[in-house]
A and B are shown apart, each in its own frame.
Chain A
Amino acid sequence: MKSTDISDPQYFHKVVDCQYACPAHTPVPEYIRLIAHGRYDDAYMINWQSNVFPGILGRTCDRPCEPACRRGRVEAEPVAICRLKRVAADFKDDITARLPKPAQRKNGKKVALVGGGPASLTVARDLAPLGYECVVFDGDHKAGGMIRSQIPKFRLPDSVIDEETGYILHLGVEFRGGTRIDSMKKLLAENFDAIFVGTGAPRGRDLDIPGRKEAAANIHIGIDWLSSVSFGHISKIGKRVIVLGGGNTAMDCCRSARRLGGDDVQVVVRSGFEEMKASPWEKEDAQHEGIPIHNYLVPKEFTHENGKLTGITFEKVKAEFDAKGRRKLVSAGEPDQHFPCDDVLVAVGQENAFPWIERDCGIEFGDWDMPKVDAVTFRSTHPKVFFGGDAAFGPKNIIWAVAHGHEAAVSIDKMLNGEDIADRPLPAVEVVSQKMGIHEWSYDNAIEPDHRYKVPLRDKAIALKDIKAEVELGFDVDLALKEAGRCLNCDIQTVFAAQLCIECDACVDICPMDCITFTPNADEKELRQHLKAPALNLTQDLYVQDGLKTGRVMVKDEDVCLHCGLCAERCPTGAWDMQKYLLEMTHAGTSCRPPRRSAA
């Protein structure tokens, strides 16, 4: 294998599994350390820079970081990264003084943002302080989009949404609530220099089976029903409720129904329990509230009497796999099952809908009637129009919307400065040695087995009575400190300097995970088999360095490295060093534009 090029920022970025997995690339270990130090304001600001909605995401994020977390590979469960983010939001002081100020001078450029959800608000957050005049349009009267309309209040209180959308609107962003844009042509005719579409995936999929029309009064589309609940238009539901669907929306529906009079709420999914789209923790939360989840049942018919829903008939199915491993649901050959109920919530998926974009306005549409959007610049085929969030590539989640927003803001900023928007800025990278003294490192590297701490919950009896009572109480300072201590500090990198190495084997002997091997060079496949412990996780890189006196190479398997620093501690020559690698994404502003070449 060739020597690893560690000057490529992507190499060490990939080692920080959580940050690499995060769409917005939030420097997770950095803020977890700050939480451990009680520096909640600083931890919050790192999050705010990167993911814009720490308090909201700390309660609702889909947390792609956690399945990636290295702790999950060396112990049973990952660090509770998401809930630690909430800790930063919960315990911070007033941070308003640290936020950017509204621009003193406007730059004369106007940007329209359609939809007041996380994608648009991120674009506004990035562009407004630079002097852009940002106007956010939303059909609702308050900002937040699906964050406000679809996430139940018992998971995310309004006060948190008000606070974090407020930080953005106070940057001099104009919010035109209650103004639904119904024509792209008209919007294009107004003199905006750029338009960003962040309208989400607002249409809930329906279920067209017999009885749908006849029993319509008691059959509700999940996301519409959730939004009516959010805005207080609905406050009651029948005693027996069936929720159809296995995604996170279905979980929100069943838990909301449980609080609005549904004593007997059940979830029914077509597929197997394991394949459900809902995050494992959301399924757990639903089950914790006494909601059973039935699987392998395909709805056949809504039954009704005198125009009133009486229940649903299901066909029992089983999964079969064809030669190519594709799953097919086939009849199990059992008698149909009938579930009596008073109300049904249909949460079987969401769709994009752009009835307000005229198809002849210069924006091309492709497969599934989705606009053609560049995956890097987020520009549509119309040079002035950008898409982001669920509106760009279909339903994902808040953190993806934020990531899209940052990138679209970079594109808009570059475009309006006359630059090539395909030329993307590199991230800012800082690498600093953590050595303080002979046995002193500026991070806590005493690593012990320590299982994940549970977030305290409100008493179930009380929580189920009030739909606005937040279920999760959040970590207290003590628990937060303990959970933060589980972080392995994967951003403190093991950096090897072959020219200093005397090949004494001290690092090999001390490494608790048998990550390090000195061996004759070979190709990657062979090396992976012949290390001190086999490197079978192909998603994790081998760090290879040549230039040793014996002609061998140093190979380190990054997979289960604890970043404990014992290799560096035991190295007599300083060939190993622990260096903090801080990668920050470049957002809109002067740093996203290359410096002009000077005459000299």
Chain B
Amino acid sequence: MTYLAKPKFHHPGLPKNELGYTHRDYEGTVSTLCAGCGHDSITGAIIQACFELAIEPHRVAKISGIGCSSKTPTYFLGNSHGFNSVHGRMPSVLTGANLANRDLIYLGVSGDGDSASIGLGQFAHCLRRGVNMTYIVENNGVYGLTKGQFSATADRGSKSKRGVTNTDNSIDMVAMALQLGASFVARSFSGDKEQLVPIIKAAIAHQGAAFIDVISPCVAFNNHAGSTKSFDFVREHNEAVNRLDFISTRMPIGLQQEPGTVEIVEQHDGSRIALRKLDADYEVHDRAAALGFLQHHAAKGQIVTGLLFVEKEAQDLHAHLDTVEEPLNKLGEKELCPGSAVLGQINAGLR
């Protein structure tokens, strides 16, 4: 961690977005995580993504649980809404907030302990319901706050810093998210912002449950030989299926590339994702094939990254429930309590 505040000076030539903000305006307070923590890079990527999307900070709600990863919302979007909830309970708080005010952009930030152990049930149900959110798991494979025990995502056979081998099977959260019906599933690496930033942008624009698993090396407890979540291991075994450029609704498509190499995926809000395929056979709209591809490569010790699945016609919880367009929290007493006559009608309809 750092005791110094980051100086307020910024580069005189820093670009500004449509709102007139620089990326510095999307920062929070200085990180208190260990120096070099992968989570800080993810923080940097979220800042960059929100800056590039020209998001108004007051339109974002960042919600987290407990753990190193769940501390990070303090370090980005200092002018946004935040809720640091109970361990593993970020998904319920996020679901509730989303139901009450569907107008905000929901950013759920969690870790492998928070989401794959204590909060596994919450994780599952939140995705299953299709809450419109971006759910980021900062996955380092260890419990960093309690000094480096294996977490549920640590690979079987990988070694702890003290040399102990993990004998438990690991939970692959990407595979789970695919099975649970998430409509946008991606995996990336904290050490590769070129890949991560567009994925976050596309996920934020996605109108549905977007899940991103970000491998994020723990420099203190999981960045040694024998770890499968270290900088070196991830770089050596990274199998990226595609690279993407995110094209917001405001930008025209400028890409004129050979057919077959770039696939344009249109999203519900009108934004587009230009996918540059690295693996020619990979089909980004095929949930079952994605699962197979994932498991096939995992067995070879490879880490598949990129945008792994996106549903063509995504729907979210509000669509399922057929709620009104107006956020519930903006409805007045009159709309919410239409009176005993209406209640009588409803009761009559149920008899």
Contact = CB atoms under 8 A, between A and B. Distances in A.
B297 interface: no
Interface string B3-44: 111111111111100000000100000110011111011011
B231 to A, nearest CB: 5
Contacts of A573: 36
Given A439-B2, A445-B4, A509-B41, A504 B9 contact: no
Contacts of A550: 235
Given A512-B7, A562-B7, 6 more contacts: A504-B191, A504-B231, A506-B36, A506-B40, A570-B36, A572-B34
Contacts of B10: 512-514
Interface string A529-573: 000011010000000000001100000000010101110011111
Interface of B is mostly: loop
A510 B6 CA distance: 7
A194 B41 CA distance: 65
B37 A506 contact: yes
A422 to B, nearest CB: 43
A448 B2 contact: no
A-B pairs with lowest CB-CB distance, top 6? A572-B36, A509-B44, A533-B11, A447-B7, A504-B36, A572-B219
A573 B10 CA distance: 26
B218 to A, nearest CB: 10
12 contacts: A448-B7, A449-B9, A505-B44, A506-B36, A509-B43, A510-B30, A510-B40, A534-B13, A564-B4, A569-B4, A570-B36, A572-B219
A502 B231 CA distance: 7
Interface of B: 2-15, 24, 30-31, 34-38, 40-41, 43-44, 190-191, 193, 217, 219, 223, 231-232, 235
B44 A508 contact: yes
Nearest to B30: A510
A503 interface: yes
Contacts of A564: 4, 7
Contacts of A2: none
Nearest to B216: A504
Interface in A54-97: 73-75
A536 B13 contact: yes
How many chain A residues sit at the interface, stated as a range, is 35 or more
A503 B7 CA distance: 23
B94 to A, nearest CB: 26
A513 B223 CA distance: 28
B56 to A, nearest CB: 23
Given A572-B34, A572-B35, A509 B2 contact: no
Contact of B41 (A446, A506, A534): A506
A571 to B, nearest CB: 6
B37 to A, nearest CB: 7
A549 B11 contact: no
B12 A73 contact: yes
A570 B9 contact: no
Contact of B11 (A449, A513, A569): A513
B40 A509 contact: yes
A446 B8 CA distance: 11
A252 B217 CA distance: 66
Contacts of A502: 36, 219, 223, 231-232
Contacts of B41: 504-506, 509
Given A514-B11, A533-B11, A560-B12, A446 B5 contact: yes
Contact of A571 (B15, B31, B36): B36
Nearest to B38: A504
Interface string A485-520: 000000000000000001111101110111100000
Q: Of A505, A510, A513, A549, which is in contact with the most chain B CB atoms at under 10 Å from its CB?
A: A505
A534 B12 CA distance: 10
A496 to B, nearest CB: 15
A550 B194 CA distance: 14
Interface of A is mostly: loop
Contacts of A533: 11, 13-15
B80 to A, nearest CB: 18
Contacts of A565: 4
Contacts of B7: 447-448, 512, 562, 564
A549 B235 CA distance: 10
A301 to B, nearest CB: 49
A75 B219 contact: no
Contacts of B14: 514, 533
A569 B34 CA distance: 10
Contacts of A570: 2, 35-36, 40
Contacts of A571: 35-36
Contacts of A572: 34-37, 219
A550 B13 CA distance: 28
Nearest to B24: A512
B2 A569 contact: yes
Contacts of A505: 40-41, 44, 190-191, 193
A504 B43 contact: no
B9 A513 contact: yes
Contact of B9 (A75, A445, A446, A569): A75
Nearest to A506: B36
B228 to A, nearest CB: 16
A278 B288 CA distance: 78
Contacts of B217: 504
A566 B43 CA distance: 17
A194 to B, nearest CB: 50
Nearest to A449: B8
A560 to B, nearest CB: 6
Contacts of B13: 533-534, 536
A570 B12 CA distance: 23
A445 B7 CA distance: 10
Interface in A21-73: 73
Contacts of B35: 506, 569-572
A448 B6 CA distance: 9
Contacts of A515: 11
B219 A504 contact: yes
A395 to B, nearest CB: 35
A549 B38 contact: no
Contacts of A508: 44
Nearest to B219: A572
A566 B2 contact: yes
B35 to A, nearest CB: 5
A564 B9 CA distance: 11
Interface string A247-289: 0000000000000000000000000000000000000000000
A566 B12 CA distance: 19
Contacts of A449: 8-9
A185 B36 CA distance: 72
A141 to B, nearest CB: 53
A74 B10 CA distance: 8
Contacts of A445: 4
A512 B6 contact: yes
Contacts of B223: 502
A592 B38 CA distance: 51
B174 to A, nearest CB: 23
Nearest to A519: B194
B9 A510 contact: no
B127 to A, nearest CB: 29
B2 A510 contact: yes
A573 B190 CA distance: 17
Nearest to B44: A509
A560 B14 CA distance: 12
Contacts of B8: 448-449, 512
A447 B3 contact: no
A80 to B, nearest CB: 19
Nearest to B11: A533
B216 to A, nearest CB: 10
Interface in A426-466: 439, 445-449
Q: Of A512, A515, A549, A571, which is in contact with the most chain B CB atoms at under 10 Å from its CB?
A: A512
Nearest to A440: B3
A447 B36 contact: no
A466 to B, nearest CB: 43
